[in-house]
Amino acid sequence: MDVGSITIRLSDEGTYNMVVGCSDMGTGCDTILAQMAADVLECEFDDISVYGVDTDTSPYDSGSYASSTTYITGMATVKACGELKEKIRKMGAEMLEIPGEEAEFDGKTVHKLGEPEKKVTLMEIATKRMLGCDVALEATASHHSPVSPPPFMCGMAEVEVDPETGKVDLIDYVAVVDCGTVINPNLSRRQTEGGLVQGIGMALYEDINYTATGYLKENSFMQYKIPCRQEIPDIRVEFEESYEPTGPFGAKSIGEVVINTPLPAIAQAIYNATGLRFYEPPFTPEKILRGLKELKGETL
């Protein structure tokens, strides 16, 4: 059901303006989509100006959710840029007065095949579009996919459990992710680290309790505990790339999968340390100490 769309046009200065329909919620999708556009159009990344979503003016996009932006809107970007590139090539061929099949666009100029000196620059083409031109050098494309190839991830946790208090210290966490082709390693790594910290918080700290009348007890950050920087170890993240043929440049999603592994990994590490199985997070010191006492036939 997901649909992604973008519009891209050649500007008066010979660069590109791209209007997206997805919202960048901190995942860096504006950067990633600009990278894809620059790759297809064979230009510099700085030549792509991205204009964020405005539902009055942006092309339709069903939203930034379900890890669909890179995978769905990325393919819309590849389609639109390919269409615009073809329009630029054809206009360049007209300006050179040669058949369209004899023209080639290399990102900076349109030139005749075999005669690179016979060319027009992208700036000249941008100027021509304002003078007696009947071709709009812009393209809009949408994309949806009938399949949703899953990413894969492995998470490994090392913990220390204090048998006197039940306190769990996370010593080390290692994650390996297969999200297809990694479009932007820095953004992907940061997104993975952020999801892992969320998962660690769910596993060890974030507790929710209600009164008999339905009032939330943890109604502020004084009561609702989230992990701070001192409680998070150095998280190590690596990528094992694959190639997804239905995704842009072989990419898949990454968003939700990164929050899935901390809970089972930490629960298994606690089991290896104590012999106790826990199925309801958070795994608080009180729960662990009570379990340890029960194993010994003692009571708190």
φ, ψ (nearest 5 deg) of residue 25: -95, 20
Q: What is the pLDDT along the chain (300 residues), one digit of tens a residue?
A: 789 999 999 999 999 999 998 888 877 889 999 999 999 999 999 999 999 888 888 888 887 776 778 999 999 999 999 999 999 999 999 999 999 889 999 999 999 998 888 999 999 999 988 887 888 899 999 999 899 899 999 999 999 999 999 999 999 999 999 999 999 999 999 999 999 999 999 999 999 999 999 999 999 988 899 998 888 988 999 999 999 999 999 999 888 899 999 999 999 999 999 999 999 999 999 999 999 998 888 776
For residues 277 and 267, the answer to whether their CB atoms sit within 8 Å is yes
39, burial (CB in 10 Å: exposed 0-12, middle 13-18, buried 19+): middle
Q: Give pLDDT, residue 176.
A: 97
Q: How far apart are CA 128 and CA 130, in angstroms?
A: 5
Contact between 20 and 33 under an 8 Å Cβ cutoff? The reply is: yes
pLDDT at residue number 134: 81
Which whole-number Å values give the CA distances from 15 to 8, 11, 41, 81, 126, in the listed order? 10, 5, 10, 13, 9
Instruction: Answer for the pair 2, 145: CB distance below 8 angstroms, yes or no.
Output: yes
Q: Which string of b and e fits 82-117 if b means at least 16 CB within 10 Å?
A: ebbbebbbbbbbbebebeeeebbbebebbbbeeeee
Task: Provide the 3-class DSSP secondary structure of residue 235.
Answer: strand
Q: Kindly list the structural domains of the chain, giving each domain's residue range(s) and its CATH number in brackets, ordered by start.
A: 4-143 (3.30.365.10), 152-295 (3.30.365.10)
Question: With helix as H, strand as E and coil as C, how does 69-124 read?
Answer: HHHHHHHHHHHHHHHHHHHHHHHHHHHHCCCHHHEEECCCEEEECCEEEEEEEHHH
Q: How far apart are alpha carbons 215 and 177 in whole angstroms?
A: 39
